[in-house]
Structure 1
Amino acid sequence: MPPEKDWRAPSDQAGDDALQYSDIAIGYLSRNARYRSDYRRALGRVKRGAISADNATASLVRRWGISYHTAPASAFDPRLAVARPDLSPANIVVAPALAGIGAEPLDVRALGDVRARIRIGDFIHVILADPDGDEHLCVCGSCQGPMAVMLPIGPDPFARLASAERLCRRLNGMAAGPPALRPPPFRREHLLTLLQVLDGHEAGATQRELAASLIHRKVRRYSAAEWVESKERKRIRRWLAEAVELRDGGYIRLLRGG
């Protein structure tokens, strides 16, 4: 898990308009004890030279759907989180084009700052740095030949189309614009608050302490009977259940923008 901070402090990402659902999803997964154990074990193998960082990352991504890159020098770096392309429509899949459709090679160097190139199975996962929200390309095959953007037939077609449009804008020398899968401000604030609930719970805070810090400080003045019957107690219990469900698998929905 990333370096710990006081769970009562608001998230540094609270006002970040570039925050995407995938950024929040990796935050929930990073609080899953089984994932943390898998990730640290993978880091250890990379440090010993038993496996490459890319192969270790690929294994984690296949199992968990998303993972931090396992390069020891940048462990737990949220900017290097990689999601499976079938789960995240924010990923733009680029592959060799069919003959005769007039496609051109893809010059990755012309796309601007590349944050990372990570091999995930048959793909090279390219993360393009963007202040409005990084772009993630899944490149299959050599970029030297004609390439095309794939738009899989299935769920999330419009989110995938919007992601592809960002790439097309960049290829034409334009600003990519904001990503499609960004939570609206209210949803973002709620999801980040639930992360505080998880952190506080893991730190040993009682439900009453969580409610007093995250809902209203008046909870501290309640009698025992008032607390048991309070709406704040019911809300924090709902929040805790929702946060645990997101940590233990529900984060996959966030990858799809849910």
Structure 2
Amino acid sequence: MPSAKDWRTPVDETGDDALQYRDIAIGYLSRNSRYQADYVRALRRVKRREITADEATSALVRRWGMSFHAAPSWAFDPKLAIARPDLAPDDIVLARAPPDLASAQPFDVAALGSVRAKMTFEGRLHVILADADGDAHVWVLDSPDRPLAAMLPFGANLAIGLAAVERLRRRLRGLSAGAPPLRPPPSRRRHLLTLLRALDGHQIGASRRELAATLIDAAVRAFSAAEWVESRERKRIGRWLAEAIELRDGGYTRLLRGD
């Protein structure tokens, strides 16, 4: 698994504008010890050639809802995280078009510009389209050589799906795709990344006072024991840790929906 940065190092916001919720969600899951063990076992099976990297990744995605691709040669890039489409409403799902839908076209990956990754899961093609404003994830449920249509399930996330498909349509026309529908605003992104720092510190044994001093206010180091017990900083770091642990242990799937 990727090694965590020193939790005391401030978050570098440079270049983070294109971070989507899924990029942050994989950060929480990657700190889950059960997922880590599962991932390491999958890598070992791939290295022994018992299963392919795509098969190993499919199993991890089914169990955890998302995963890094389990290929030993791949870097631990959060932008290479794959999520189940039922959990990620911004994933674009293409299926065979009805025979009388004359306007439907095949899915020409070569015409879409930069492709970050292309994988096969349980017979389904998964393509990650690189974009400076935020990557797009496309599932192809049939042969890409057949005329295809986008599937948009009715429900609370319909608007997100529509926005994702519109980005793909613009890309197909050679236009800038624009911002993705599930990119956290700066304040939310900063908070989620700060919680990751708190989680990293907690998992290596940093005290709550040290966490609060580093992440909230250095003045708490000088508090008396009584002042620390009654302080707002102690209560806040407690809330942050509870939130971070819940995100690590399952709540990361909510982030895939932008919650």
Fold similarity call, TM over 0.5: yes
TM band (smaller chain): over 0.9
CA contact (8 A) 1:149 1:164 kept: yes
Answering whether residue 182 of structure 2 is matched by residue 181 of structure 1, we say yes
Aligned twin of 2:254? 253
Q: CA deviation at 1:132?
A: 0.7
Q: Name the residue aligned to 1:58.
A: 58
**Alpha-carbon contact 1:125-1:137 (below 8 Å) kept:** yes
Matched letter for residue 189 of structure 1: R
Q: What's 1:139 paired with?
A: 140
SS at 2:182's partner residue?
Answer: coil
Q: Structure 1 residues 14 and 198 mapped into 2: Cα distance closer, same or farther (>3 Å)?
A: farther
Q: CA deviation at 1:192?
A: 0.4
Aligned to 1:111: 112
CA deviation vs aligned residue, 1:63-98 (integer Å, no higher than 9, x gap): 000000001011532121100000001210011100
- CA deviation after TM superposition for structure 1 residue 5, in Å: 2.1
The residue identity in structure 1 corresponding to 2:24 is I
Residue 153 of structure 1 is matched in structure 2 by 154
Per the alignment, residue 172 of structure 2 pairs with 171
Segments of structure 1 that go 5 or more residues without pairing to the other structure are none
Secondary structure of the residue aligned to 1:72 is: coil
Greater Cα offset, 221-230 or 11-20: 11-20
Structure 2 residue identity aligned to 1:66: M
Deviation at 1:14, TM superposition (A): 6.5
Distance 1:139 1:13, change over 3 A: farther
Partner of 2:42: 42
Match in the other structure for 1:89: 89
Deviation, 1:10, is 2.2
Mapping for residues 208-247 of structure 1, pairs under 5 Å: 208-247=209-248
Q: Amino acid of the residue matched to residue 109 of structure 1?
A: A
Amino acid corresponding to residue 239 of structure 1 in structure 2 = W
User: Percent of pairs identical after alignment?
Assistant: 64
How does the TM-score come out when normalised to structure 2?
0.97
1:19 aligns with 2:22: no
Match of 1:190 in 2: 191
TM-score relative to the length of structure 1: 0.97
CA distance in 1, matches of 2:217, 2:235: 13
SS of match in other structure, 1:209: helix
Classify the secondary structure of the residue corresponding to 2:73. helix
1:72 alignment partner AA: P
The 2-side partners of 1:254 and 1:136 are apart by 16
- Give the Å deviation of 1:152: 1.3
